[in-house]
Chain A
Amino acid sequence: MRHIISLLMENEAGALSRVAGLFSARGYNIESLTVAATDDPSLSRMTLVTRGSDEIIEQITKQLNKLVDVVRLIDLSSSSYIEREFMMIKLRALGAAREEFKRLADIFQGSVIDVTDNSYVIEMIGNSEKLDAFIKAVGDEVVLEVVRSGVTGISRGEKGLRA
C-alpha cells in the first residue's frame, strides 16, 4: 500500500541525509520526498511517499521516530488528508495540437506559462493521479520534459502536525 508520511525535524544540516540514509540502509522503498523549512524556522517539514506492507510501514515509522532529530510524524494516509503535487510539463506543440493542449490544460486547471513557436510549458497542481492522467491525455510522444515537485500533504480538519 502507498503511504504518505509527514514529519517535523530539527532544521539541522544533515537532517535530510539521516532520513535518506535510513531508507537506503534498510532497503525501504521511497517514491518521493519533499522538504522545506516551516513557519517555525527551527523546524523543517518533510513529506515522504513510500510503499510497503503494514509491517514494513510500521517499521518505517518506528525507525523514523527513532532518529534523534525527528520531532513528530504522522502517517497522513491513516486518516483523511489532502495531497498535492506541482508539475511543469514541456510539450511539443504544433498546429492543431496547440489549441487542444490549451483546452486540456483548462480542463485540468493548469495553465500555459511559456510559449514558443513549437512548444508550451504548462503548470499544474493536483494529486499525483491527476498529474499522471494529464500526461496520459496529452500522450507520451509530445512530452519533451516533465518536472514534478514530489508530493506534499496535510490532514483534513482541525488537527495537525505541530511540534
Chain B
Amino acid sequence: MELSGGDILVQALKEEGVEFIFGYPGGAVLHIYDALYRSEGIKHILVRHEQGATHAADGYARSTGKPGVVLVTSGPGATNAVTGIATAHMDSIPMVVITGQVPKKVIGSDAFQEVDSIGITRPCVKHNFLVKDVKDLAETIKKAFYVATTGRPGPVVIDVPKDITAPDVKVPFHYPETVNMRSYNPTSKGHPGQIRRAVDLLLVAKRPMLYSGGGVVLGDAADELTQLTQTLGYPITNTLMGLGAYPGTDKQFVGMLGMHGTYEANLAMHECDVLLAIGARFDDRVTGDLEHFCPHAKIIHIDVDPSSISKTVPVDVPIVGDVKEVMNDMLTLLEETDTKPDAKALAAWWQQIALWQDKDCMAYATSSSVIKPQSVIQSLHKVTEGDAFVTSDVGQHQMWAAQYYPFNKPRRWINSGGLGTMGFGLPSAMGVQLAHPDATVACVTGEASIQMCIQELSTCKQYDLPINILCLNNRYMGMVRQWQEFFYDRRYSHSYMDALPNFVKLVESYGHVGLRIEDPADVEGAIREAIALKDRTVFLDFITDQTENVYPMIANGKGHHEMHMPPPRELS
C-alpha cells in the first residue's frame, strides 16, 4: 500500500490504538489535518491554546495509563506546547507530541514560523525525533510510542517537516510490529539477590516505614503495593504523586509526607529504622533538609530509573526494576519464608504513631460565617463518595485537595507535582472526562490558576464536557501569600488578585452554568447541584477565607521533625 506521509501518520496512530488527538492546526500541519479529515476512527479535540492540548493529553494519560497524543503546528504552536511537555516530563507521563516543522529545504533559514523545536524541547522530553525522510515516518512513530510508554515513561516529540507529509509523495506503508533499539533497553526485572536482601532487612526492622510514589501509579502496581503493605502490616505514606496507589482511608495509611504532609507521616519517616521507597524520587519537597532526612534508617529503593537511585539520598539496597515485578518477587519471598515481622516491636511502633496521630494535625477551625476551603474539599469527598476523578491547579487549593480528599484508587488524583504548572487543572480535566465520559470529574482550582487556561472553557462547550469546576476563590495567590506571611513579614508583594472577573457571568458567556457561593451552609448543596447536572460544565465560585493557610508545613530547608503546626483552633 502506497501512502503519503500525512496518511501514514494518521494510519500509524490508528495502529497504536489512539482514540484522541488533542491539537490545533496551522500551516506546517495542514497536510496532516487534511489526512485526519479524510479518515475515521480517531477523534480530534480542538483546544483553544496549545498548552491546553498538552495538558489535556496529559490528563488523558494520567487517568488511563495510555499515552496522550498532541498535534501542533511549527513555531508558536510548538513553543506554546512546551509548558505542557515540561509538565509531563517532570511527572514522567507518557505522551507523544507531533510538532509540524517548516519544509526540510528551508530549515535553518529563519523561515516563516520556524523554531528549533528539537533544540527547545530537548531538555524537557524523554526523547525527540526529527523525521528526515518519509520512509522513516512509520518506524519513528513506532519508536516514539515505545520510548514514551516503557521504562520510566515520558513525553516524546516528533518534529515533522511539512514536505514529509505532502500528499504527492507516496511510499509503501508498513507499520512495524516490534521495535529494536540497541541503545534503549529498560530493566524491568529486579536483581534477585538485592530483592532478597531487601526482604531480609524489612523483616528485621523494628520501626519500618513504606514510602511510595508516582512510580506505583505509573507502573499500575497499586494492587501489589496494597498486598505487600498489608502482608507486612507496616505503616505507609504516599507522596503527592503517589496518592491513591494505597487506599487513603485504610488504617495503615498515615497520610501524605513532605512539606504539607501529616505530622505522623513525617515523624515516622524521621524515626524509622528501615525505609522502603517504592517508585518515588526523594524530591526536595518530600525530604526537606537532607542533613536530617531519615537519620536512623537503612534505605531500600525500588525504581526503574537508575538515575533516581542515590541521586539526592544515598541508598543501602538499590533495586533497579519495575515496581510491579519487584513487589511480586518480594511477595513470593515473604510467602516462602518462615520469618515474620517482629510483632512486639511493631506494636510499639504503631503505638508511637498513634500518639503522633493524636495531635490531629489536619484539624482546622470551622466557621459558620465564612467558607473554609478545606470544608469544600470535604464536601466534595462526601458528595462524590470518594469516587471522583479530581484534577487540580497549583497552590493552596491543590494541597487542600490532596489532604482532604482521601483517594482509594490510583489514577484518580491528577495534578502537576514536579513542575507545579498553574493552568493544568481545567485542560487536564478535559482529557480525563473524554477518557471517562460517565465518571464524575472535578477540577479544584484557584481564581489565579484558572485564569491561566480559562480559554479552554470554550473547548468544554464544544465537546459538552460535564466537568465540575470548584474554584476556591480567596482573592489571593494564596500559596504565595502564605510564604509572604511566614517568611517575608507579611509584605504581600503582588500576590493579591485584583480586578477579578465575574466568574459566573464569564462562564455563562461560554454557555456554562455558574454559581457563586458565599455561605458555608450552601457548600454541599451547590456541589450536589453541580454534579446532578450531568450534561453541563458547572463553575462553582466559592468565596473562601482569605487568611487560611496550608498546615502542617515544613519550611524550606527544615527537617521532618521541624514542622509548623496549625495555630490553636478556636471553636466557632
Contacts and interface: CB of A to CB of B under 8 A. Distances in A.
Contacts of B127: 68-69
Contacts of B119: 14, 17
B325 interface: no
A66 interface: yes
Given A63-B307, A65-B306, A66-B305, A21 B122 contact: yes
Contact of A55 (B122, B183, B184, B310): B310
B307 A68 contact: no
Interface in A16-55: 17-18, 21, 25, 55
Contact of B307 (A10, A55, A59): A59
B181 interface: yes
Contacts of A58: 310
A9 B181 CA distance: 12
A55 B314 CA distance: 9
A58 B314 CA distance: 11
Contact of B123 (A21, A62, A69, A163): A21
Contacts of B126: 68
User: Contact residue range for chain B?
Assistant: 10 to 19
A9 B184 CA distance: 11
B118 interface: yes
A121 interface: no
A154 interface: no
B311 A10 contact: no
Given A17-B122, A18-B122, A21-B123, A62 B130 contact: no
**Quick one: which of A17, A18, A62 has the most chain B CB within 10 A?**
A62
A62 B306 contact: yes
A163 B182 contact: yes
A147 interface: no
A123 to B, nearest CB: 35
Nearest to A64: B307
Interface string B309-330: 0110010000000000000000
Contacts of B122: 14, 17-18, 21
B307 A66 contact: yes
Contacts of A59: 307, 311
A70 interface: yes
Nearest to B122: A21
Given A55-B310, A58-B310, A25 B123 contact: yes
B280 interface: no
Interface residues of A, number: 20
Given A17-B122, A21-B123, A25-B123, A69 B183 contact: yes
B427 to A, nearest CB: 27
Nearest to B132: A13
Nearest to B309: A62
B147 interface: yes
Contacts of A62: 306-307
A102 to B, nearest CB: 47
Interface in B305-358: 305-307, 310-311, 314
B514 to A, nearest CB: 43
A144 to B, nearest CB: 36
Contacts of A70: 183
Nearest to A163: B182
B130 A68 contact: no
Interface string B205-239: 00000000000000000000000000000000000
B147 to A, nearest CB: 6
B147 A68 contact: yes
Nearest to A14: B118
Interface in A142-163: 163
Contacts of A138: none
A9 B127 CA distance: 14
Nearest to A63: B307
Contacts of B311: 59
Contacts of B130: 13-14
A21 B121 CA distance: 11
B420 to A, nearest CB: 19
Contacts of B181: 68
Contacts of B307: 59, 62-63, 65-66
Nearest to B126: A68
A115 to B, nearest CB: 41
Interface string B164-205: 000000000000000001111000000000000000000000
B162 to A, nearest CB: 18
A66 B151 CA distance: 10
Interface in A106-163: 163
Nearest to B183: A71
Nearest to B307: A62
A59 B305 CA distance: 11
B177 to A, nearest CB: 20
A68 B123 contact: no
Contacts of B183: 9-10, 68-71
Nearest to B320: A62
A100 B123 CA distance: 51
B182 A71 contact: yes
Interface in B120-154: 122-123, 126-127, 130, 147
A122 B306 CA distance: 46
Interface string A57-88: 01100110110111100000000000000000
B310 to A, nearest CB: 7
A71 B180 CA distance: 12
Nearest to B127: A68
Contacts of B306: 62, 65-66
A68 B126 CA distance: 8
Nearest to A68: B127
Of B119, B122, B126, B130, which is in contact with the most chain A CB atoms at under 10 Å from its CB? B122
20 contacts: A10-B183, A14-B122, A17-B122, A18-B122, A21-B123, A58-B310, A62-B306, A66-B305, A66-B306, A66-B307, A68-B127, A68-B147, A68-B181, A68-B183, A68-B184, A69-B127, A69-B183, A70-B183, A71-B183, A163-B182
Given A14-B119, A68-B183, A70-B183, 4 more contacts: A14-B130, A17-B119, A62-B307, A68-B181
Interface of A: 9-10, 13-14, 17-18, 21, 25, 55, 58-59, 62-63, 65-66, 68-71, 163
Ordered nearest first, which 5 A-B pairs have the shortest CB separation?
A: A62-B307, A68-B127, A71-B183, A62-B306, A68-B184
